Amino acid sequence: KVMLECLIVGDSIAVGTKMFAPHCELQGKGGINSWQFNKMYKGSFYADTLIISLGSNDHKGVKTYDELFEMRQRVGAKNVFWVLPAGGLPIEKVQFIVKELAAYYGDTVLPIRGLQPDGIHPSWSGYKDIVERTKE
Protein backbone atom coordinates (compact mmCIF):
# COMPACT_ATOMS: atom_id res chain seq x y z
CA LYS A 1 0.00 0.00 0.00
CA VAL A 2 1.16 3.48 -0.77
CA MET A 3 1.33 5.62 2.36
CA LEU A 4 0.19 9.16 1.68
CA GLU A 5 1.86 12.05 3.49
CA CYS A 6 -1.53 13.53 4.34
CA LEU A 7 -5.16 12.62 3.71
CA ILE A 8 -8.25 14.70 4.49
CA VAL A 9 -11.61 12.92 4.62
CA GLY A 10 -15.16 14.10 5.12
CA ASP A 11 -17.58 16.89 4.32
CA SER A 12 -17.43 20.52 3.12
CA ILE A 13 -15.07 21.40 5.99
CA ALA A 14 -12.71 18.71 4.69
CA VAL A 15 -12.99 20.22 1.20
CA GLY A 16 -12.22 23.70 2.60
CA THR A 17 -9.28 22.39 4.64
CA LYS A 18 -7.78 20.88 1.47
CA MET A 19 -7.61 24.38 -0.07
CA PHE A 20 -5.06 25.30 2.61
CA ALA A 21 -3.24 21.97 2.51
CA PRO A 22 -1.93 21.40 -1.02
CA HIS A 23 0.29 18.58 0.31
CA CYS A 24 -2.80 16.55 1.26
CA GLU A 25 -5.05 14.25 -0.76
CA LEU A 26 -8.83 14.58 -0.35
CA GLN A 27 -11.57 11.98 -0.11
CA GLY A 28 -14.71 13.92 0.60
CA LYS A 29 -17.66 15.89 -0.65
CA GLY A 30 -19.57 18.91 0.57
CA GLY A 31 -22.86 18.28 2.37
CA ILE A 32 -22.43 14.60 3.13
CA ASN A 33 -23.19 13.02 6.49
CA SER A 34 -21.31 10.15 8.16
CA TRP A 35 -23.59 7.45 6.72
CA GLN A 36 -23.24 8.83 3.17
CA PHE A 37 -19.47 9.06 3.59
CA ASN A 38 -19.21 5.37 4.53
CA LYS A 39 -21.33 4.38 1.53
CA MET A 40 -19.22 6.46 -0.90
CA TYR A 41 -15.75 5.75 0.49
CA LYS A 42 -15.45 2.06 1.31
CA GLY A 43 -11.68 1.50 1.41
CA SER A 44 -9.10 2.02 4.09
CA PHE A 45 -7.45 5.33 4.89
CA TYR A 46 -3.65 5.08 5.02
CA ALA A 47 -1.57 8.21 5.61
CA ASP A 48 1.08 9.64 7.90
CA THR A 49 -1.46 12.32 8.82
CA LEU A 50 -5.22 11.89 8.55
CA ILE A 51 -7.65 14.77 9.09
CA ILE A 52 -11.30 13.79 9.60
CA SER A 53 -14.24 16.18 9.32
CA LEU A 54 -17.51 14.33 9.74
CA GLY A 55 -20.65 14.80 11.82
CA SER A 56 -21.62 18.38 10.93
CA ASN A 57 -24.28 17.17 8.48
CA ASP A 58 -25.59 14.32 10.62
CA HIS A 59 -29.26 14.43 11.58
CA LYS A 60 -31.39 12.34 13.93
CA GLY A 61 -31.68 9.57 11.31
CA VAL A 62 -27.91 9.03 11.22
CA LYS A 63 -26.37 6.70 13.82
CA THR A 64 -23.36 9.00 14.23
CA TYR A 65 -21.47 6.88 16.75
CA ASP A 66 -21.83 3.68 14.71
CA GLU A 67 -20.89 5.39 11.44
CA LEU A 68 -17.84 7.23 12.81
CA PHE A 69 -16.66 4.13 14.68
CA GLU A 70 -17.00 2.03 11.51
CA MET A 71 -15.05 4.64 9.53
CA ARG A 72 -12.33 4.93 12.21
CA GLN A 73 -11.76 1.17 12.18
CA ARG A 74 -10.61 1.50 8.55
CA VAL A 75 -7.87 3.99 9.41
CA GLY A 76 -4.17 3.19 9.27
CA ALA A 77 -2.47 6.48 10.10
CA LYS A 78 0.30 7.65 12.41
CA ASN A 79 -1.42 10.90 13.37
CA VAL A 80 -5.20 11.25 13.32
CA PHE A 81 -6.94 14.60 13.80
CA TRP A 82 -10.69 15.14 14.17
CA VAL A 83 -12.09 18.58 13.32
CA LEU A 84 -14.66 19.14 16.07
CA PRO A 85 -17.97 20.05 14.38
CA ALA A 86 -19.36 23.45 15.32
CA GLY A 87 -22.82 23.13 13.78
CA GLY A 88 -25.39 20.44 13.04
CA LEU A 89 -28.19 18.81 14.99
CA PRO A 90 -27.88 18.36 17.96
CA ILE A 91 -24.26 19.45 17.89
CA GLU A 92 -23.43 18.71 21.52
CA LYS A 93 -24.21 15.02 20.94
CA VAL A 94 -22.02 14.89 17.83
CA GLN A 95 -19.19 16.72 19.62
CA PHE A 96 -19.39 14.24 22.51
CA ILE A 97 -19.17 11.29 20.10
CA VAL A 98 -16.17 12.77 18.26
CA LYS A 99 -14.35 13.45 21.55
CA GLU A 100 -15.17 9.96 22.86
CA LEU A 101 -13.89 8.19 19.72
CA ALA A 102 -10.76 10.36 19.56
CA ALA A 103 -10.00 9.59 23.21
CA TYR A 104 -10.54 5.86 22.65
CA TYR A 105 -8.07 5.81 19.74
CA GLY A 106 -5.62 8.37 21.14
CA ASP A 107 -6.41 10.84 18.34
CA THR A 108 -6.24 14.64 18.53
CA VAL A 109 -9.40 16.78 18.50
CA LEU A 110 -9.14 20.19 16.80
CA PRO A 111 -11.84 22.65 17.86
CA ILE A 112 -12.45 25.22 15.11
CA ARG A 113 -10.87 28.53 16.09
CA GLY A 114 -12.51 31.16 13.86
CA LEU A 115 -15.90 30.56 12.25
CA GLN A 116 -17.72 31.99 9.25
CA PRO A 117 -21.01 33.81 10.04
CA ASP A 118 -22.97 30.56 9.51
CA GLY A 119 -21.46 29.26 12.76
CA ILE A 120 -20.54 25.96 11.10
CA HIS A 121 -17.69 26.44 8.63
CA PRO A 122 -14.24 27.74 9.58
CA SER A 123 -13.21 31.20 8.44
CA TRP A 124 -10.16 31.36 6.13
CA SER A 125 -7.96 31.90 9.17
CA GLY A 126 -9.82 29.02 10.88
CA TYR A 127 -8.91 26.67 8.01
CA LYS A 128 -5.27 27.81 8.05
CA ASP A 129 -5.21 27.22 11.82
CA ILE A 130 -6.51 23.64 11.41
CA VAL A 131 -3.77 22.83 8.87
CA GLU A 132 -1.05 24.46 11.00
CA ARG A 133 -2.08 22.45 14.07
CA THR A 134 -1.78 19.17 12.13
CA LYS A 135 1.87 20.01 11.31
CA GLU A 136 3.04 20.62 14.90
Which amino acid makes up residue 10?
G
| Percentage with pLDDT > 90 across the chain | 90
What pTM value is reported for the model? 0.95
Tens digit of each residue's pLDDT (9 = 90 or more) over 14-56 = 999 999 999 999 999 999 999 999 999 999 999 999 999 999 9
Instruction: Specify the pLDDT at position 136.
Output: 79
pLDDT bin (cut points 50, 70, 90) of residue 61 is: very high
Q: What is the edge-to-edge ordering of all strands in the sheet holding 108-111?
A: 25-28, 4-10, 45-53, 75-84, 108-111
Instruction: Specify the pLDDT at position 5.
Output: 95
Instruction: Specify the pLDDT at position 87.
Output: 65
How far is 63 from 34, CA to CA, in rounded Å? 8
